[in-house]
Amino acid sequence: MSLVELIARADARGLAASGLACLDRCVPLLDGDDEALRPLWALLADNADGTCGAAGHDWTEGLAQVRDKLAGPDAGGEDEAVLLARRMLGAAPAACTGPALRTWADACSVASLRIHRLLDPVGDAAREADVPRDGGTEGQPPLVAAELRRQTGVLELLAERGAAGLRPALEISTEGRRVLRAVVSRRARGRA
């Protein structure tokens, strides 16, 4: 199944995890630490019914805390990759249900792939083109191909395992965050 089809078929937990995983992998662009999104992941894991709220906690409160933690400087001088990551965070819906959640997950998928294309040192040829999400990874630069595989893997895990897929989905996201952190670090050294 293609990435587009997986997003179209995902339930609320799958959509929230998909969007959250894309954002989590891009946290290095927001100067966030590795635990920045952990409260939102915990909310997804706390609920057996697939919703994003828990006793005493909810998605809206958790999202507000994450936004405060990752609030950066005025966006005037930031490059496109950072702006895309900020937009992902800013566009997260206050309610973890309904059509807004699907729209956000889809937009996060597109933005994360665009970020990976912008940052891929091998992918200079087609930086302006959108990454096709309805096919495989053939012909894609390495960083983009890996991100396509991660996005697909997260959605497949949640579709197959439900809440039990959250831990391995988080592991996929953590691996991707480490890769992007290394890329961002190399890029910063190259600019210095």
**Predicted structure pTM score:** 0.89
* Per-residue pLDDT at 79: 87
* Per-residue pLDDT at 150: 96
Looking at this protein, which amino acid is placed at residue 84?
L
Structure tokens at 181: 């952190």
State how far the Cα of 33 lies from the Cα of 15, in Å rounded to an integer: 23
pLDDT digit string, tens, across residues 102-136: 999 999 999 999 999 999 877 654 555 667 777 77
* Per-residue pLDDT at 86: 94
54, β-bridge pairs: 57
> In the chain, what is the straight-line distance between the N-terminal and C-terminal CA atoms, in Å?
43
Q: What is the DSSP string of 94-163?
A: SSSSHHHHHHHHHHHHHHHHHHHHHH-TT-GGGTTSPPPSSS-STTS-HHHHHHHHHHHHHHHHHHHHGG
Structure tokens at 109: 């998928």
pLDDT digit string, tens, across residues 131-176: 777 777 787 889 999 999 999 999 999 999 998 999 999 999 999 9
State how far the Cα of 179 lies from the Cα of 5, in Å rounded to an integer: 26
